[in-house]
Amino acid sequence: MRILHSAPAEDGFRMPAEFERHEGCILIWPHRRDSWQNGAYAARRAFQKLITAISRWEKVLVCARREDYDSAREMLPPCVRVVEMSSDDSWARDVAPTFVTNGQEIRGIDWGFNAWGGLVDGLYFPWDRDNKMARKLCDLLERDTYDCRHFILEGGSIHTDGQGTLLTTEECLLSPGRNPGMSREEIEEMLRRTLGVQKIIWLKRGIFHDETNGHVDNICAFTAPGEVVLAWTNDRNDPQYAISQECLSILNASCDAAGRPLTVHKLPLPSPITVTSEQCEGLDSMDGEPTRTPGERLAASYVNFYIANGGVLCPQFGDPNDRTALSVLAECFPGREIVPIDSRDILLGGGNIHCITQQIPAVGKEK
């Protein structure tokens, strides 16, 4: 593995869209006792179902801590590759590399990671094991890696159409816990140089009460060039209402890098989901402080799906809108099977299906 200090875009590399063809997908076996209730058993079962589903269409690589390797190996199908790798938590989207390609070769970008806000408003301390994962993964996958550790970025805070357009949120990328010394223009320049994009669409805020400082991947996602889904509610009493309205206005007023206006598909949110007392009782505290409190609203959204080669893995919450979400996605992804995954035990950790996955794009001709 070579460690590169040049700019991917200047080397002719770009970040592909998630809906482009994948070589595989990376996940991290959950373990953190203050993130996942009851020793992560329920979360592991949810990960197991998700991983088994994804493995129908692409290779899956699962990173497990030394202590959890046997659990992962025993619970996952033989076709899934389990490797030992230490981590602080299990959010592959945010700690695995962002992969870029020039059409012939794949390289990884190793961003700085500070647990969604570092000492300002990060979610745990320390985060050194997470921060080392991107480079370790590139080493493991025999891919050269771009050293961008001086720039704090999580994969969940960006979405691209693979054709020069990037979606992100001001709430996250301009947050004081990320890159406070950089102006909005400097951050834009960094995104252009690293991801090979020309046009950046800035939404203001992410999902209400999303503890990642409003990652875009929970509120809005590309489903095809010129097409996005947007998390939506018609309930004017929900604080989410104004946020979604604001996003819609921005999206309707934007065009992509190719000059196309965006078609916005509304993806209705489930009714608010809150943490139960029973769930809180199964969680370790962090430095004596509870990580969840009963009645706390979780950032549930159907937008946090994962697009695999032949299918779309969609979160399900036991809500009447579960079926609506599946229908909307079926229209957005006509060539793919829409797979419902009960993800309530993932949601409790603070994210969802998209947050725990990271695709590795494919190069060369389709087999």
Q: Which residues bind a copy of itself (CB under 8 A)?
A: 1-3, 66, 69-70, 73, 78, 81-86, 129, 132, 135-136, 139-140, 142
Residue 82 or 303 with smaller CB distance to a copy of itself = 82
Q: Which two tokens stand for residue 196?
A: 């090979």
Report the C-alpha gap between 198 and 230 in whole angstroms.
22
Between residues 134 and 187, which has the closer beta carbon with respect to a copy of itself?
Answer: 134
CB of 129 to a copy of itself, least distance (A): 8
Q: Minimum Å distance from CB 131 to a copy of itself?
A: 12
Number of DSSP helices (H) and strands (E) in the chain, helices first = 11, 17
Q: What is the smallest separation between the CB atom of 41 and a copy of itself, expressed in angstroms?
A: 22
Rounded CA gap, 64 and 207, in Å?
29
Instruction: Assess contact for 52 and 60: CB atoms under 8 A.
Output: no
Tokens of 291: 């990580």
To a copy of itself, the closest distance from the beta carbon of 56 in angstroms equals 17
Q: How far is the CB of 86 from a copy of itself (least distance, A)?
A: 4
Distance CA 362, CA 104 (A): 9
| Residues shown for the chain | 367
Q: Which is nearer to a copy of itself, 136 or 336 (CB)?
A: 136
Residue 286 phi/psi, 5-degree rounding, is -120, 115
Q: How many Å apart are CA 225 and CA 19, to the nearest integer?
A: 9
Cα separation, 136 vs 24, in Å, equals 17
DSSP label at 276?
Answer: -
Smallest separation (angstroms) from a copy of itself to the CB of 62: 10
101: enclosing H helix or E strand: strand 98-101
Contact 344, 317 (CB under 8 A): yes
Closer CB to a copy of itself, 1 or 242, in the complex = 1
What strand order describes the sheet that includes 227-232? 220-224, 227-232, 263-268
In whole angstroms, what is the distance from residue 251 CA to residue 216 CA? 13
| 142 versus 366: smaller Cβ distance to a copy of itself | 142
Shortest distance in whole angstroms from residue 212 CB to a copy of itself: 26
Which three-class secondary structure state does DSSP give residue 315? strand
Q: Which residues are catalytic?
A: 355
Name which of 142 and 289 has its Cβ closer to a copy of itself: 142
* CB-nearer residue toward a copy of itself: 112 or 351: 112
Contact 108, 99 (CB under 8 A): yes
Burial 128-155 (b: 16+ CB within 10 A, else e): ebbbbbbbbbbebbebebbbbeebbbbb
Q: Are strands 159-160 and 165-169 parallel, antiparallel or unpaired?
A: antiparallel
